[in-house]
Amino acid sequence: MPETASGPPTPPAGRRTALLAGGALATAAAMAAAVLAAGGFGEGRQQARTADGVRHTTVEVTSAACGRGWTHPEPGRQVFDLHNTSGTAAEVYLTDARTGAVYGEVEGLAPGTERPIRVTLGNGAYAFKCLPDDADAVTGPTVHITGGHVKSGPAALPVTQQELIPPTLAYQKWIQARTVELAQKTDVLRDAIDRGDLAAARAAWLPAHLVYERMGAAYGTFGDADSAINGTTAGLSGGVHDADFTGFHRLEYGLWHGESASSLRGPAGRLAKAVHALRDSWPDQRMDPADVGLRAHEILENTVQFELTGRTDYGSGTNLATARANLDGTRVLLGYLRPLLKTRHTDLSGLDSWMARTRRTLSGGEHDGRWTPLDRLGRAQREKTDADVGELVERLSAVAALTDVRRTA
DSSP state string for 96-114: ETTT--EEEEEEEE-TT-E
Cα–chain-centroid distance for residue 153? 22
Question: What is the per-residue pLDDT for 154?
Answer: 87
Q: Is the dihedral of CA 189, 190, 192, 193 positive or negative?
A: positive
**Residue of 102, 119, 88, 114 whose CA lies nearest to 16:** 102
Q: Is the dihedral of CA 336, 338, 344, 345 positive or negative?
A: positive
Q: Do residues 65 and 84 touch, judged by C-beta distance below 8 A?
A: no
Q: Whole-angstrom Cα distance, residue 405 to residue 400?
A: 10
Q: Whole-angstrom Cα distance, residue 232 to residue 244?
A: 9
- Extended strands (E) in 113-223: 114-121, 124-132, 138-139, 143-145
Question: What pTM does this model have?
Answer: 0.82
Sheet with 55-61, strands from edge to edge, namely 55-61, 76-84, 114-121
Question: What is the per-residue pLDDT for 42?
Answer: 44
Could you state, in order of their start, the residue ranges of all structural domains in the chain? 3-145, 161-402
Question: What is the per-residue pLDDT for 89?
Answer: 96
Whats the size of the chain, residue-wise? 409
Decide if domain 3-145 falls under CATH 1.20.1440.
Answer: no
Q: Whole-angstrom Cα distance, residue 198 to residue 157?
A: 55
3-class SS of residue 57: strand
DSSP 367: E
Q: Among residues of the chain, what percentage have pLDDT more than 90?
A: 83
What number of other Cβ atoms are within 10 A of residue 148's Cβ?
A: 16
Instruction: Tell me the per-residue pLDDT of 158-209, one tens digit each, with 9 for 90 and over.
Output: 999 999 999 999 999 999 999 999 999 999 999 999 999 999 999 999 999 9
Instruction: Tell me the per-residue pLDDT of 34-87, one tens digit each, with 9 for 90 and over.
Output: 333 333 444 434 445 555 689 999 999 998 999 999 999 999 999 999 999 999
Of the CATH numbers 1.10.287.110, 1.20.1420.20, 1.10.3720.10, 3.40.50.2000, which one belongs to the domain with range 161-402?
1.20.1420.20
Digit-by-digit pLDDT tens for the chain (409 residues) are 555 443 333 333 333 333 322 323 333 333 333 333 333 444 434 445 555 689 999 999 998 999 999 999 999 999 999 999 999 999 999 999 999 999 999 999 999 999 999 999 999 999 999 999 989 999 999 999 999 999 998 888 999 999 999 999 999 999 999 999 999 999 999 999 999 999 999 999 999 999 999 999 999 999 999 999 999 999 999 999 999 999 999 999 999 999 999 999 999 999 999 999 999 999 999 999 999 999 999 999 999 999 999 999 999 999 999 999 999 999 999 999 999 999 999 999 999 999 999 999 999 999 998 999 999 999 999 999 999 999 999 999 999 999 998 888 7
Cα–chain-centroid distance for residue 388? 17
Q: Do residues 373 and 128 touch, judged by C-beta distance below 8 A?
A: no
DSSP 327: H
Question: What is the per-residue pLDDT for 283?
Answer: 96
Q: Do residues 278 and 222 touch, judged by C-beta distance below 8 A?
A: yes
Q: How far apart are the first and last CA of the chain?
A: 21
Q: Tell me phi and psi for residue 281, to 5 degrees.
A: -90, -20
